[in-house]
Amino acid sequence: NFSRHIIPNILTNIHIENFESNLTMHVQHNDQCIIQCLKAHYWAKYIQCSIDLYEAGITLTHVYDFDQLEGMCLADEAWNEV
């Protein structure tokens, strides 16, 4: 394991589990799959919201207008589906 991953002793509320040698490449692949799945769920929700706005009469120039809070809520909903 990389020596920079060691947490100083002053951080008593953190517990570290180090990977065994050569395990990182297998775990990182899983991370990529999770991120890809999250993005797919997020974009599906984003597009569905845009379609719903369009069908409600919102003009095309505004159907993709989302603020940060709305984006974070969509991301939270998408994460719960992963």
For 51, residues 6+ apart whose C-beta sits below 8 A from its C-beta are: 63
Per-residue pLDDT tens digits for 32-62: 888 899 999 999 999 999 999 999 999 988 9
Q: Which residue has the higher pLDDT, 1 or 63?
A: 63
Per-residue pLDDT tens digits for 1-17: 455 666 667 777 777 77
- Mean pLDDT, to the nearest integer, of 13-28? 72
Hey, where are the domains in the chain?
A: 24-81
The answer to whether 45 touches 78, Cβ cutoff 8 Å, is yes
